[in-house]
């Protein structure tokens, strides 16, 4: 087989670790290589491509998902270390065809431009509201610092998060 | 990422056995630094031992002191009511650490052992004595803006990047470690090595030793402490200079002072001369300025990081004023 120009798996890569991954309420049984990150598993194995790969180093927040209801970077977690805890992705927050209030707030406040960071921003914002902090603009800015928006939609993101928190903008 | 094998340890004995059986194994807990190091091929362990199931989780306040399990996530320590009440310095340092996502993942034990952010250490394509002993140190005359002004050697000037250890040093904390040989306590002050001839060793932990807890002794500094972190952006950034201050006061006079600097040393850097000069005197704006001026003594700045010397002096002054409630 001609692998020229393609990425070749390391010779000793083995997809021999069986895990249960519960994502958005559905449990999937997967055989993974130990190196598979939660982000890899979501995107490449479960084809849930709403969760984005940005830096792959935990620095941009595009891969933010909820684990046990708390926001984390899916790129910094090996799938084998998830250990059965429930994962929620951007695909799992709308209910019965209705957008999640945070999604609605992002739409209403025009809280994005290119949209690439948006799933991570929304998941992070949902995680933030679960942390029961103050929802003034300064607190939101500080506690959304794990999500970078290179289009610079920050002011509208803050307005959207405040609106979803019920404080108005 | 190079291939590695993986085993989840169900208990401490298994974790220590697995580690003892493979000199090239690494423990993984939160994984927030480990994954970065793996992704960029800075390290290549043959196997990972998952210690997340071990029972070292939670914060316990007892008699004014605290015991923090090494697997407690940074966010859970920062948000703990007892830590906020008795050790606000630690809560403050942790809230300024990394991002909310990282704080939900990273553990106390792993945070203590995070590796330097030196650009050359993190780039596997260039020499680095810490990553590859004997290969050289391009930081000495290269891009050394973030590097250390204290504690460096001709082999390494990588700065210790963490906030939590800086605060823990100011709180006279200990850690508890376990190994196949048993359990021992180490002062955080004695955990980190100077690079000297062997910059590949960050700490005095022996291979296979596992941090299980951080112990904070009770103190009387909760009302007069402050963590000041100066960085290139307002949040989610490493410290260029940070200062942890913990003061025990008799009305206006300083009875005991701990002043520790982060971002400037190859390890968290206690400013003993500043502490000595504070002791037994009233804390005033003039005094804060004068002792701040001592903070740069002994510094060995390089071309790119000389700015850290005046920045540190004024950061010490400012942190003292904040801790003393003078501003």
pLDDT in tens, A74-95: 999 999 999 899 999 999 999 9
What are the E-state strand segments in A33-131? 64-67, 70-73, 87-88
Could you give the angle at which helices A101-108 and A154-164 cross, rounded to 10 degrees?
140
pLDDT band for B125, please (50, 70, 90 cuts). Answer: very high
Distances (CA, A) of B163 to B9, B68, B141: 29, 16, 26
pLDDT score of A43:
98
Q: Does B149 touch chain A (CB under 8 A)?
A: no
| A-B contacts (CB, under 8 Å) | 96
The average pLDDT across B234-247 equals: 98
Whether the pLDDT of residue A7 is over 70: the answer is no
Q: How far apart are CA A57 and CA B37, in angstroms?
A: 9
Nearest to B265 by CA among B124, B180, B166, B132: B166
Phi, psi torsion values for B59, nearest 5 degrees: -115, 130
Return left, alpha or beta for A89; rule: phi > 0 is left, psi -120 to 50 is alpha, else beta.
beta
Q: Residue B82 belongs to what H/E stretch?
A: helix B81-86
Is B46's Cβ below 8 Å from some Cβ in A?
no
Cα torsion B3, B5, B8, B11: sign: negative
CB contact under 8 A, B104 and A35: no
CA distance A82 to B28: 12
pLDDT at A8 over 50: no
CATH superfamily of A17-92: Beta-grasp domain (3.10.20.30)
Searching chain B, which residue's CA lies closest to the CA of residue A18? B6
Q: Check residue A60 and give its pLDDT.
A: 98
Q: Which fold has domain B222-324?
A: Enolase-like; domain 1 (3.30.390)
By the 10 Å C-beta count (0-12 exposed, 13-18 middle, 19+ buried), B66 is classed as: buried
The predicted-structure confidence for B254-278, as pLDDT tens digits, reads as follows 999 999 999 999 999 999 999 999 9
- Look at residue A9 and tell me whether its pLDDT is greater than 60: no
What confidence score (pLDDT) does residue A15 get?
72
pLDDT at B241 over 50: yes
B-chain CB neighbours of A127 within 8 Å are 100-101, 104
Q: Determine the distance in angstroms separating the CA of B35 from the nearest CA of chain A, rounded to an integer.
A: 6
pLDDT (mean) for B154-160: 98
CB contact under 8 A, A77 and B105: yes
- Tell me what the mean pLDDT of segment B138-155 comes to: 98
CA distance B186 to B204: 9
Which sign, positive or negative, has the C-alpha torsion B54, B59, B63, B64? Answer: positive
For residue B6, give the nearest of A67, A80, A131 by CB distance.
A80
Is residue B132's pLDDT more than 60? Answer: yes
Instruction: For A97-139, write each residue's pLDDT tens digit.
Output: 999 999 999 999 999 999 999 999 999 999 999 998 999 999 9
Beta bridge partner(s), residue A22: A27
Task: Match domain A101-164 to its CATH number in 1.10.4190.10, 3.10.450.50, 3.40.1350.10, 1.10.150.120.
Answer: 1.10.150.120
Tokens found for residue B55: 């029972």
- For chain B, give every domain's residue range: 5-49, 222-324
* B250 CA to centre of own chain: 29
Residues of A in contact with B7 (CB under 8 A): none
B31 to A142: CB separation less than 8 angstroms, yes or no: no
- Mean pLDDT score, B25-29: 97
Q: How far apart (Å, rounded) are the C-alpha atoms in residues A118 and A52?
A: 9
Query: Phi, psi at residue B324, to the nearest 5°?
Result: -80, -5
Q: Would you call B23 an interface residue with chain A, using a CB distance cutoff of 8 Å?
A: no
Domain boundaries, chain A: 17-92, 101-164
A11: pLDDT strictly greater than 70? no
**In the predicted model, is pLDDT for residue B75 greater than 50?**
yes
**CA–CA gap between residue A37 and residue A67 (Å, rounded):** 14
Cβ distance of B32 and A76 shorter than 8 Å: yes
Measure Cα distances from A95 to A58, A90, A161, B323 in Å.
Answer: 29, 12, 19, 49
| Orientation of helix A101-108 relative to helix A118-130, angle to 10° | 130
**Can you say how many angstroms the Cα of residue B281 is from the centroid of all Cα atoms in its chain?**
29
- Verify whether the Cβ–Cβ distance B8 to A33 is below 8 Å: no
Residue A132 is predicted with a pLDDT of 86
In the predicted model, what is the mean pLDDT of chain A? 92
> Which B residues 50-109 touch A at CB under 8 Å?
50, 52-53, 75, 79, 98-102, 104-105
In terms of CA atoms, which chain A residue is nearest residue B96?
A: A142
Q: Minimal Cα–Cα distance from B55 to chain A, Å?
A: 15
Q: C-alpha angle A25/B76/B217, rounded to 5°?
A: 155
Element (DSSP H or E) covering residue B226: strand B225-230
Q: Do B35 and A37 touch (CB under 8 A)?
A: yes
- At A10 the pLDDT is 44
Q: Which of B268, B288, B286 is nearest to B278 (CA)?
A: B288
Q: What distance, in Å, lies between the first and last C-alpha atoms of chain B?
A: 50
């Amino acid at each position: 087989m001609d692998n020229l120009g393609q990425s070749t798996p390391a010779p000793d890569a083995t997809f021999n670790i069986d895990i249960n991954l519960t994502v958005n309420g559905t449990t999937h049984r997967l055989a993974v290589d130990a190196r598979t990150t939660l982000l890899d598993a979501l995107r490449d194995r479960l084809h849930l491509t709403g969760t984005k790969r940005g830096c792959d180093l935990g620095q941009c927040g595009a891969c933010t998902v909820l684990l046990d209801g708390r926001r984390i970077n899916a790129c910094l977690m090996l799938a084998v270390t998830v250990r059965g805890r429930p994962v929620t992705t951007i695909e799992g927050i709308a209910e019965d065809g209705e957008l999640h209030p945070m999604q609605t707030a992002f739409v209403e406040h025009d809280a994005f431009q290119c949209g690439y960071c948006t799933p991570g921003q929304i998941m992070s914002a949902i995680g933030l509201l679960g942390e029961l902090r103050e929802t003034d603009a300064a607190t939101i800015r500080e506690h959304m610092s794990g999500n970078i928006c290179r289009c610079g939609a920050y002011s509208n993101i803050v307005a959207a998060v405040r609106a979803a928190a019920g404080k108005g903008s | 990422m190079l291939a590695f094998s993986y085993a989840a340890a169900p208990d401490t004995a298994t974790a220590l056995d697995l580690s003892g059986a493979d000199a090239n194994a690494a423990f993984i807990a939160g994984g927030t630094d480990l994954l970065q190091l793996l992704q960029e091929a800075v390290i290549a362990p043959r196997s990972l031992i998952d210690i997340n199931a071990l029972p070292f989780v939670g914060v316990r306040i007892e008699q004014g002191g605290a015991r923090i399990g090494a697997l407690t996530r940074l966010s859970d320590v920062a948000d703990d009511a007892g830590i906020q009440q008795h050790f606000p310095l630690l809560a403050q340092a942790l809230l300024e650490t990394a991002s909310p996502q990282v704080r939900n993942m990273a553990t106390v034990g792993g945070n203590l052992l995070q590796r330097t952010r030196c650009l050359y250490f993190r780039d596997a394509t260039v020499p680095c004595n810490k990553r590859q002993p004997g290969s050289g140190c391009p930081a000495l005359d290269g891009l050394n803006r973030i590097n250390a002004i204290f504690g460096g050697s001709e082999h390494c000037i990588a700065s210790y990047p963490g906030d939590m250890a800086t605060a823990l040093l100011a709180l006279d904390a200990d850690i508890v470690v376990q190994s196949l040989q048993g359990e021992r306590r180490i002062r955080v002050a004695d955990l980190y090595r100077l690079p000297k001839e062997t910059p590949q060793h960050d700490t005095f932990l022996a291979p296979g030793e596992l941090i299980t807890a951080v112990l904070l002794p009770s103190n009387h500094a909760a009302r007069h402490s402050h963590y000041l972190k100066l960085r290139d952006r307002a949040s989610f950034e490493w410290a260029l200079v940070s200062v942890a201050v913990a003061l025990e006061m008799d009305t206006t006079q300083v009875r005991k002072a701990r002043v520790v600097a982060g971002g400037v040393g190859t390890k968290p850097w206690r400013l003993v001369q500043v502490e000595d000069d504070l002791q037994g005197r009233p804390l005033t704006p003039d005094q804060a300025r004068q002792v701040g001026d001592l903070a740069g003594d002994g510094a060995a700045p390089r071309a790119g990081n000389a700015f850290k010397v005046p920045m540190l002096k004024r950061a010490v002054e400012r942190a003292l004023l904040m801790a003393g409630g003078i501003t």
